[in-house]
Amino acid sequence: MKALIVTEHGPVEKLSLGEFPDPKPGKGEVLIDVHAASVNFPDLLVVGGTYQNLPQRPFVPGKDLSGVVAATGEGVTQVKTGERIVAQIEHGAFAERVAVREALCFKMPEKMSHAEGAAMGLTYLTAHNAIVERARMQPGETVLVTGAAGGVGFACVQLAKALGAVVVATVSSDEKAALVKANGADHVVRTDVADLRESFRKQVFNAVGKHGIDLVLENVGGDVFDASLRTMAWCGRLVIIGFAGGRIPEVKAGYLLVKNISLIGLQSSDYRERWPAVVRNAYDQLFALYEQGKLKPHVMAAYPMADYVAALNTVKDRKVLGKVVIMMRV
């Protein structure tokens, strides 16, 4: 089968498009003909060799996909050959076929395209884990989403709004501002400003008042993290989702103490291994909201497999609005 293969860690250009052995479904596994695979920021870390979980080389990267069940292994009872599904895996999605544990396969809504299915994988699950599982967000709360036009940020904006929040989205351009406003953001805070530390807080307080932010969903790190912390309400919560901006921030504990602030970490992929029932429940809720028209992934571009370098570099260069996917079967 054709696949994107890591034989040596490094920049995206180190990936190669070539032949890789066809997988076979083992006991409890499902063989999937992959139609689309989403490109996520962690994929770049895997290719570069800096991610926390790295398989032995050579291997196929890619963490979420949509496709059609081609065959099932012994003991599989929940999915059938021919069904359209999305799947979450640690690696292997950037290929024409992949074998996945049945527990990680989820039936797609009928009207959902394969590109949408791939785009609604890891990012929307991460958003759900952050908002529902970790933060226990309540309707009416004020939620600040950083990096709001990126994959996870965009999903957080849509989901928080669908669940009844007042959503404040941070972006760095007019184009990104227009996208998040059209997809649930009540207010927009710009980060492409001079004196971010003071301007950020002023923009937030002008939008929602000096009560501040009940819940921060933080995807960026660095100066944006620091600025977000200064906007938080008493007893506010901040969920640490990622550090797309580069710098991992440090926090003075005294500030957390005097405002009763909670910092909450999120490693979303661990839910697959530790609490698979929670993941299945999350997908049930996400797909129900999709069918109600309250969630809709924004697929900025769908690249053919041969254009994988352009697809991954779009994510690397932070040019993505919503999601980029690679179509494995055109």
CATH of the domain at 168: 3.90.180.10
**What residue has token string 């301007």?**
199
Q: Which two tokens stand for residue 145?
A: 């989403």
Q: Which two tokens stand for residue 19?
A: 């032949």
pTM here? 0.93
The pLDDT of residue 157 is 98
Q: Which two tokens stand for residue 87?
A: 């799947």
Q: What is the pLDDT of residues 169-179, one digit of tens each?
A: 999 999 999 99
DSSP string, 35-97: EEEE--HHHHHHHHT-SS--PPSSB----EEEEEEEEE-TT--S--TT-EEEEE-SS--SBSE
Count helices and strands (H / E) in the chain: 11, 15
Is 281 inside a domain boundary?
Answer: no
Q: How many domains does the chain have?
A: 2
Q: Which of these, 315, 264, 293, 40, lies nearest to 152 by C-alpha position?
A: 40
Is the pLDDT confidence value at 320 over 90?
no
- The whole-number average pLDDT for the span 267-295 is 92
Is 280 inside a domain boundary?
Answer: no
Q: What is the pLDDT of residues 57-107, one digit of tens each?
A: 999 999 999 999 999 999 999 999 999 999 989 999 999 999 999 999 999
Is 150 inside a domain boundary?
Answer: yes
Q: Which two tokens stand for residue 190?
A: 């710009």
Residue span of the structural domain in which 51 resides: 2-120+297-327
Q: Cα dist. 279→22, 41, 75 in Å? A: 28, 21, 21
Domain check: are 244 and 208 in the same one? yes
The pLDDT of residue 7 is 96
Q: Identify any residues that bridge with 101 across adjacent strands, giving them in sequence order.
A: 29
Is 313 inside a domain boundary?
Answer: yes
